[in-house]
Amino acid sequence: MISKNMQDSINEQIKNEIYSAYLYLSMCAYFESNNLPGFANWMRVQYNEELSHALRLFDHINERGGRVNLLAIAQPPSDWKTYLEVFTQVLEHEQHVTSLIHKLYETALAEKDYAAQVMLQWFIDEQVEEEKNATEILEHLKLIDARGTAVLMLDHRLEKRGKE
């Protein structure tokens, strides 16, 4: 059985994961409107990943005899000045999510909830990958921005994500 505190904390993280999905879908729409289907595809794949993260947490609560309580999701931003600004926000957002996962893990430690600790280790590992991917794209965009070339080449590479 899951404790009320752990259940409430995981329900909060479900909300955070769904917000992440919503944010990436908004970024997808932004890139679609700017005729960058590759960037849009990357964001759409990210959207689907975030939803799968929310469902993983959802399932964990249910498997432990808890009750999922879906919380309200805030409206994400919908416009950015540059592609560099978008990916700067992606990295900042992933760093924020990492801090939320760490806080959730600390709750599992305090609750002595070993099942949650095991489940959350997957999220900790996943966040390392998320930050690495965002950093790599951001650094490529900084190089492109400095030289003023290759945005379409990067767009083509991003369009292949999830299709390989």
**pLDDT tens digit string along 81-113?**
999 999 999 999 999 999 999 999 999 999 999
Task: Return the pLDDT at 144.
Answer: 81
In this prediction, residues 3-32 reach a mean pLDDT of 98
In this prediction, residues 47-68 reach a mean pLDDT of 98
End-to-end CA distance of the chain: give it in Å, rounded.
41
What are the structural domain ranges in the chain? 4-159
Whether pTM exceeds 0.85: yes
Q: Of 3.40.190.10, 1.10.357.10, 1.20.1260.10, 1.10.260.40, which CATH number belongs to 4-159?
A: 1.20.1260.10
Dist. CA 53–CA 49, nearest whole Å: 6
Task: Return the pLDDT at 44.
Answer: 98
At 148, the pLDDT band (50, 70, 90 cuts) reads: low
**Pair 61, 116: CB distance under 8 Å:** no
The SS3 of residue 1 is: coil
How many percent of the chain have pLDDT more than 70?
A: 98
